[in-house]
Chains A and B, each alone.
Chain A
Amino acid sequence: MTNENVDVAVIGSGPAGLAAAVSAKENGANYVVIIDRNSWKGGILPQCIHDGFGLEETGNSMTGPEYIQMYIDDAKKHNIDFLTETMVINIDKNKTITAVNKNGIYKINAESIILSMGCREKTRWNIMVPGDRPSGIYTAGVAQAFINLYNIIPGKNIVILGSGDVGLIMARRLKLEGLNVLGVLEILPHASGLPRNVVQCLDDYEIPLYLNHTVTHIDGRERLESVTIAQIDNKKNIVKGSEKKIKCDTLLLSFGLIPENELSKDAGIKIDNITGGPVVDQTYETNIPGIYACGNCLQVYDTVDVLSKSAKLVGKNAVVKLIKNKKSIFVKPGKNIRYVIPQIINKKGLINFTMRVNKPAQNVTLKIKADEKEIYKKKQRWVNPANMIELTLEITHEILKKGKTLVVNLHE
Chain B
Amino acid sequence: MKNFHVAIIGGGVIGSAIAWELSKYKLDVVVFEKGLDVCSGTSKANSGVIHSGINSTPGTLKARFCVEGNKMFTDLAEKLGFSLKWTGKYVIAKNPLESQEIDRLIKVGKKNNVLGLEIHTGAVVKKRESNLSCFEALWVPTAGVILPYEFTIVLAENAVKNNVNFLLETKVTNIKKYEKGFKIETNKGVFSSNILINSGGLSCREIVSMVEKPDFKVYPCRGEYLVLDKNYSNLINSMIYPVPPAKLGVLGVHITPTIEGNILIGPSAEFIDDPDDKKTTLHMMKTLLKEAKEIIPSIPENAIISAYSGIRCKLLSPQQSGIADYRIEESKRTPGLINLLGIESPGLTSAPAIAKEVTKLISKFYNLEFKKDFKIIKKQPRFSNLKENQQFNLIKKDEKYGRIICRCEQITEAEVIKALSNLLHARSISSVQYRCRAGMGRCQGGFCTQHLLRIMQEKFGMKIDEIKMKSPDSYLFTGYNRELKK
Which residues of A pack against B, CB within 8 Å? 1, 37, 85, 87, 89, 98, 100-105, 120-121, 123-126, 128, 130-136, 139, 141-142, 145-147, 149-156, 177, 216-218, 221-223, 249, 262, 265
Contacts and interface: CB of A to CB of B under 8 A. Distances in A.
Interface in B386-403: 388, 391-392, 395-396, 399-403
Nearest to A266: B231
Contact of B447 (A100, A120, A130, A222): A120
B480 interface: yes
A125 B444 contact: yes
A142 B480 CA distance: 15
Nearest to A154: B477
Contact of B450 (A103, A125, A145, A265): A145
21 contacts: A1-B388, A87-B404, A103-B399, A105-B392, A120-B443, A123-B443, A125-B307, A125-B444, A131-B281, A133-B278, A135-B475, A136-B476, A141-B446, A147-B481, A149-B450, A150-B450, A152-B477, A153-B479, A177-B481, A222-B471, A223-B473
A346 to B, nearest CB: 29
A223 B384 CA distance: 33
Interface string B419-460: 000000000000000000000000111110110010000000
Contact of B482 (A131, A139, A151): A151
B464 interface: yes
A126 B400 CA distance: 32
A122 B358 CA distance: 47
Contact of B410 (A87, A105, A156, A249): A87
Contact of A100 (B391, B449, B450, B453): B391
Given A128-B307, A135-B475, A145-B450, A105 B388 contact: yes
Contacts of B285: 128, 130
B478 A125 contact: no
Contact of A130 (B280, B410, B475, B482): B280
B302 A139 contact: no
B329 to A, nearest CB: 32
Contacts of A128: 282, 285, 304, 307
A221 B445 CA distance: 19
A363 B378 CA distance: 69
A156 B478 contact: yes
Given A130-B285, A139-B446, A151-B481, A125 B306 contact: yes
Contact of B480 (A126, A151, A217): A151
Nearest to B472: A222
B26 interface: no
Given A130-B307, A152-B453, 19 more contacts: A1-B388, A37-B404, A100-B391, A102-B403, A104-B396, A120-B446, A125-B304, A125-B444, A131-B281, A133-B278, A134-B474, A135-B474, A139-B446, A142-B445, A145-B450, A156-B478, A217-B279, A222-B471, A262-B408
Chain B interface extent, by class: 35 or more
B119 interface: no
Contacts of A132: 278-279
Query: Counting chain A CB atoms within 10 Å of each CB, which of B445, B474, B484 scores highest?
Result: B474
A152 B282 contact: no
A85 to B, nearest CB: 6
Nearest to A221: B276
B450 A223 contact: no
B110 interface: no
Contacts of A100: 391, 395, 402, 404
A278 B477 CA distance: 37
A122 to B, nearest CB: 10
B469 interface: yes
B478 A155 contact: yes
Contacts of A101: 402-403
Query: Counting chain B CB atoms within 10 Å of each CB, which of A102, A146, A262 scores highest?
Result: A102
B391 A126 contact: no
A297 to B, nearest CB: 13
Given A102-B400, A120-B443, A154 B478 contact: yes
Interface in B275-329: 276, 278-282, 285, 302, 304-308
Instruction: Please name the 6 residue pairs, one residue from A and one from B, whose CB atoms are nearest each other, closest first.
Output: A102-B399, A102-B402, A135-B469, A222-B473, A87-B404, A222-B474
A156 B481 CA distance: 11
A103 B444 contact: no
B444 A152 contact: no
B41 to A, nearest CB: 13
B356 interface: no
Contacts of B468: 135
Given A123-B444, A128-B282, A145-B450, A153 B403 contact: no
B53 to A, nearest CB: 33
Given A85-B403, A133-B278, A135-B476, A152 B464 contact: yes
B474 to A, nearest CB: 4
Contacts of B379: none
B82 to A, nearest CB: 25
Contacts of A139: 446
B480 A104 contact: no
A167 to B, nearest CB: 14
Contacts of B472: 222
Contacts of A222: 469-474
Given A121-B446, A128-B285, A130-B279, A105 B478 contact: no
